[in-house]
Chain A
Amino acid sequence: MELSGEEKKLQALFSELKAADEQATPHFGATWNGAQISPRKTHALNPAFVAGMMLLVFGVVAFAVWSRYSRTTSSPQPVIANAPQNPGTTPAFETASRPAPESPLPKPKNAPIVARNKVTSQHNAMLAANRKLEKDAKSIASWTSPTSALLESPSDEIFSSLPELNQSATQLKSFLPSRSN
């Protein structure tokens, strides 16, 4: 291949570079023997490997915490309202989620046993809460106002009862207004 003037210059520059590199080339035996005796590289301290493992561990721990937390907060408990709006009416029930429980504690070594005990205690607490709710509901249903006695009158029975068809005429007369003629 015929080289032009500038190509020849480039070729000469590369040749000079090559000559300098050849002088600086390490001895083959040293490099070859160095390769033979060099210790095998281990991947244990590879930064990318370490970073990957750390990410993996973090992901697993985060998932475990999230799954545990979501299980405790997913079932809403029925909560009774503080006080009835109208006396004598049944208490209003509303469904609302309970406040978030205390932050999850780090898992001990015997995690399955602790978790089972915790589930049992939670179940017992839920039963006790339900019993208390039933008791409160009964007491609220039988509640009467302290001033209700003032509103009572002897004719309350008449106002609160209705005449029946099979009653006698004399009894029905009592419902009629009295006439003087």
Chain B
Amino acid sequence: MDIAELNEELEKLHSASFGWALSCCRRDHAEAEEVLQTVYLKILEGKARYRGESSLKTWLFAVIRKTAIGEYRKKLVRSLVFLGSSEKHEDGVSSADGPTRIFEKSELQKQFRIALAKLPARQREALHLVFYEDLSLSEAANVMGISVGSARQHYDRGKKHLREWLSHTETENGIVWRRKETPSAV
């Protein structure tokens, strides 16, 4: 696959890639953008090479995940070395402006994001890949670099946690669920 062809394919997947990068970076927009840029740089430099062993989306998502983990580790080391780091981590949800701010007006969505951020990374990733990216469990397992059985376990546990959160939120706050039918949901 030459660079022009790859460029075209990456452009199609850009939005989904950014969403996945966001999930891997605990919803930090700036970090997700940096991770995505690093991934593109890796592809341009030939450090990350697509060999056609899986679908391009699965391969790209695996690269994004690996890069995000690497960046997170680097950040962690930096924060340990320079203890006076002024980075903020508020429940894993970073502040964002523009359209996201409008989105956050929905109290349920806000709480949902917080609940999602509180989940263990593997569970969050499994849920994101299945519900958000519409991947199958085997594809999700491929992206996460684990077996299908493990992916299923993380998916089930994550779903159970979110179900509990959902029922708790509905009973506590008396939120009336607005069913929003989406073609991909059913």
> A residues bordering B, Cβ < 8 Å?
3, 6-18, 20-26, 28, 31-32, 34-36, 38, 47-48, 51
B72 within 8 Å of A by Cβ? no
Mostly helix, strand, loop or mixed at chain A's interface? helix
Given contacts A11-B131, A28-B14, 12 further A-B contacts (CB under 8 A): A6-B163, A8-B186, A11-B184, A12-B180, A12-B181, A16-B103, A16-B109, A18-B19, A23-B98, A28-B11, A31-B36, A36-B41
Write out, one digit per residue, whether chain B residues 143-183 have a CB within 8 A of any chain A CB (1) or not (0).
Answer: 00000000000000001001100110000000001011110
B50 within 8 Å of A by Cβ? no
- Shortest CB-to-CB span from A38 to chain B, Å, is 6
8 A Cβ contacts from B79-136 to A:
81-82, 96, 98-100, 103, 106, 108-109, 112-113, 127-128, 131-132
**Interface magnitude class on chain B:** 35 or more
18 residue pairs of the A-B complex, CB under 8 angstroms, read A3-B185, A3-B186, A8-B185, A10-B127, A14-B127, A15-B185, A17-B109, A20-B99, A20-B100, A22-B15, A24-B98, A25-B19, A28-B14, A31-B33, A35-B38, A35-B40, A35-B41, A47-B81
Residues in A whose Cβ lies below 8 Å from that of B37: 31, 34-35, 38
Residues in B whose Cβ lies below 8 Å from that of A6: 163, 166-167
Residues in A whose Cβ lies below 8 Å from that of B77: 47-48
B22 within 8 Å of A by Cβ? yes
Residues in A whose Cβ lies below 8 Å from that of B81: 47-48, 51
- Shortest CB-to-CB span from A112 to chain B, Å, is 38
B44 within 8 Å of A by Cβ? yes
Q: How far is the CA of A38 from the CA of B37 in the complex (A)?
A: 9
State whether B166 touches A10 (Cβ < 8 A).
yes
Residues in A whose Cβ lies below 8 Å from that of B112: 13, 17
